[in-house]
Chain A
Amino acid sequence: AQTVTQSQPEMSVQEAETVTLSCTYDTSESNYYLFWYKQPPSRQMILVIRQEAYKQQNATENRFSVNFQKAAKSFSLKISDSQLGDTAMYFCAFMKPTGNQFYFGTGTSLTVIP
């Protein structure tokens, strides 16, 4: 079975600073996909960034980037120039190509402090 672990239940960061959210996962699969989703107070689940395991290059999306370490089974999210609108719960998710099932971590609540 796949498990996804987010060891930081809560984090805070000053506006304009950089913060890194951690995620580790456990799988015996060699090919898979990893995602970070954001859930603001509106509770909508919003895709932040995604990474394909067979790609060595780390994904980036504007102020968001990941540090994907396949051997260590680690997938951290870096948010640069943090903004107040980044305040949200962040979920890491793992997906196998077959079956298309997502496995989510328990989330990290991020607060951006003005």
Chain B
Amino acid sequence: DADVTQTPRNRITKTGKRIMLECSQTKGHDRMYWYRQDPGLGLRLIYYSFDVKDINKGEISDGYSVSRQAQAKFSLSLESAIPNQTALYFCATSDPSRQGATDTQYFGPGTRLTVL
């Protein structure tokens, strides 16, 4: 079974609709992240959470909100979707085991969102 899962895998919606993307992980990691990937721009950080009560904005948080319902769950919401939010969205987790340790991020399979 996958350690980091995302639902849905694909979604088509209309401008103005509210949509939620969900991420769950079984790795037991405290840190979770949401990225979007656009062609030619690589991955950009939207929000990140170091634990249930710690949520931080990333590089491109405008138009998005998040909810950390539990250690294992981190949801991304688009309150009123617009076409330029059409992208591939990735959830990731990490777990720095000790100060100075390499902190690899583990990615989910991605959600392809299309806003018409």
Footprint of B on A, CB under 8 Å? 4, 9, 31, 33, 35, 37, 42-47, 50, 52, 91, 95, 97, 100-102, 104-107
Contact = CB atoms under 8 A, between A and B. Distances in A.
Given A100-B31, A100-B96, A104-B43, A45 B107 contact: yes
Contact of B42 (A52, A100, A101, A106): A106
B44 A104 contact: yes
B103 interface: yes
Contacts of A43: 88, 109-110, 112
A43 to B, nearest CB: 5
Interface string B3-45: 0000000000000000000000000000101000000111111
Interface residues of B, number: 27
B102 A101 contact: no
Q: Mostly helix, strand, loop or mixed at chain B's interface?
A: strand
B74 interface: no
Contacts of A91: 42-43
B64 interface: no
Interface in B39-95: 40-45, 48, 50, 58, 88, 90, 92, 94
Given A106-B42, A107-B42, A101 B103 contact: no
A31 B102 CA distance: 11
Contacts of B41: 106
A45 B42 CA distance: 12
Contact of A102 (B50, B88, B105, B110): B105
